[in-house]
Structure 1
Amino acid sequence: MSLSHKIAFVGGGQMAEALIGGILAAKLCVPDRIWATDPAAVRLDHLKKTFGIQVGGSNREAAAWGDVVMLAVKPQVFDGVLKEIGGELADALIVSIAAGVPISRIAGICGGQTRVIRAMPNMPALVHEGMTALAIGSCAHEQDVATVRCIFESVGKVVPVEERLMDAVTGLSGSGPAYVFLAIEALTDGGVKMGVPREIAAVLAAQTVLGAAQMVLKTGQHPARLKDQVASPGGTTIAGLHRLEQGGLRATLIDAVEAATKRSQELGR
């Protein structure tokens, strides 16, 4: 699929970089159809040198230029940026990746008939293995949904969700990579403690997590069933699992998702 749209990124951080890279790698559009703004000149220089896109200028200029305007700024500054550019967005498709900011708030600032799609991607989009959830505003057209889905599929998988679930999605898949990085680090340290060289332990841990995730996705089996296939009676794995249960790993991960979800809800107030 090729996009005829001009795409403006208001905010040029890591997620914007991932999406720009995905769009261009998938040949959805050419570099001169993408414009990015950011308060940090070093970010703009990096994006210009890496991708050859248009950079700089004001947020309002970029928003007025774009057919699709990607709002890739932090929730803490989101309202200020949106009020700055809201007058330029009447005819644009707005895509927000800000955690906790509801579609109703965006429409309230920009106008009730604004076409808005809310997205929650995650960090693995940087290596085209991202997971993005999309919540569709009531004024968005079917073609708008197809366009946004195409953009985010260039950096990974996409699922549609009801907007009421977006805070939970943020706590699960949005923040989830950090939980997994921590687990990989801990597994690596465990290997080092047992005498495995760190560089080897890191590869063993990361590939083990990757392989386990692929088994869940490709087999469609419940993770508990796959776990049971590894844990033989009286073996090493069940001994390790027992210790994880004693340490409360399962409950702690559930608590982490809940805490991150509540923080996303706080950001939306």
Structure 2
Amino acid sequence: MTIGDISLVLVGAGKMGGAMLSGWLDMGLNPANVTVIDPGLPQEMNQLAEQKGFRFIATPYGIVCPDVVVVAVKPQVMDKVLPTLKSLVGASTVVISVAAGTPVSAFKAHLGEEALVVRAMPNTPAQVGRGMTAAFASHGVTASMRTLTAALLSSMGMFVWVESEGQIDAVTAISGSGPAYVFHMVEAMASAGEALGLDAETAGILARQTIVGAGELLHQSALPAATLRKNVTSPGGTTAAALNVLMAEQGGLGALMEKATAAARDRSIELSK
């Protein structure tokens, strides 16, 4: 089964749902086989539906069981949404969730114990095609379903499978929440620039473009991040002086990042209960 052949229902037409849909249509998903469900019926999705030719409705009633159901709603409304989806899920329907904090067990509680569920964690760079998504497949998800899921989720950037559902909490801590860490680094670097005497505008430009450029270099290079770091660092130079602080065993960035990501993982576990 190829992407062009499948029938798909997308539940949730927010930024993540919209980013996925645009990627799928670009990959050749037949818009005639696509239904998007969102009770809010946002105007921008209405316009896209008119342009592309997919169906956009407020409720799931009356839809024949599709090959794929993608759930992209906010976790706080999941308990209201999931009961309405039971009629959509057939014996060969794979349900892909990109909602943080909602475990496979919650889907099975509402959709039936035999429901075939993939729990995925994308991140916000998916909106520009540079996302990182990891997913866990529940028992019964076939090899062909895994292949199809990987193809769909790769439309947003890179994709990997994890071996256990518990690892999704670690994924959330590293890549799911990770863009915010990078954005904060820009803020911290800009603030540091001001402390060194630069005006706010110049410091902001320098910090932002440095992160953007370093990210693009990392994207285009096959070299490990450690090698790229070493390539910038002259022995006894200015970069080495800064890295002596950032890489200190006590109070350095590594130790701080471990503490921060552990807090994010623990919170992810709490939200899943």
Q: TM-score, normalised by structure 2?
A: 0.85
Once the two structures are superposed, the pairs formed by residues 177-188 of structure 1 within 5 Å of their partners are 177-188=179-190
SS at match of 1:197: helix
Counting aligned pairs with the same residue, the percent is 34
Deviations 1:30-79 (CA, angstroms, capped at 9, x unpaired): 323222222323x2x212323533212303445x4532111111222212
Corresponding position: 1:250 with 2:248? no
Deviations 1:112-152 (CA, angstroms, capped at 9, x unpaired): 22111111111111111111111111111111111111111
Distance in 2 (CA, whole Å) between partners of 1:188 and 1:214 is 23
When residues 264 and 164 of structure 1 are mapped into structure 2, their CA distance, relative to the original with a 3 A threshold, is same
Match for residue 22 of structure 2? 21
Match for residue 74 of structure 2? 74
Corresponding position: 1:259 with 2:260? no
The residue type paired with residue 122 of structure 2 is: P
Aligned partners of 1:7 and 1:66 also within 8 Å: yes
Match for residue 141 of structure 1? 142
Deviations 1:67-112 (CA, angstroms, capped at 9, x unpaired): 2111111222212211222243133211111112222331232112
Distance in 2 (CA, whole Å) between partners of 1:245 and 1:218 is 23
Once the two structures are superposed, the pairs formed by residues 72-111 of structure 1 within 5 Å of their partners are 72-91=72-91, 92-111=93-112
Distance in 2 (CA, whole Å) between partners of 1:206 and 1:147 is 34
Once the two structures are superposed, the pairs formed by residues 153-172 of structure 1 within 5 Å of their partners are 153-162=154-163, 163-172=165-174
Which ranges of structure 1 fall in alignment gaps of 5 or more residues? none
What is the total number of aligned residue pairs between the two structures?
262
Structure 1: which 4+ aligned runs deviate by more than 6 Å?
Answer: none
When residues 254 and 265 of structure 1 are mapped into structure 2, their CA distance, relative to the original with a 3 A threshold, is same
Alignment equivalent of 2:206, drawn from 198, 201, 204: 201
Corresponding position: 1:36 with 2:40? no
Aligned-CA RMSD value: 2.4
Distance in 1 (CA, whole Å) between partners of 2:244 and 2:40 is 49
Aligned partners of 1:15 and 1:123 also within 8 Å: yes
Match for residue 126 of structure 1? 127
Distance in 2 (CA, whole Å) between partners of 1:76 and 1:183 is 29
Distance in 2 (CA, whole Å) between partners of 1:248 and 1:61 is 57
SS at match of 1:157: strand
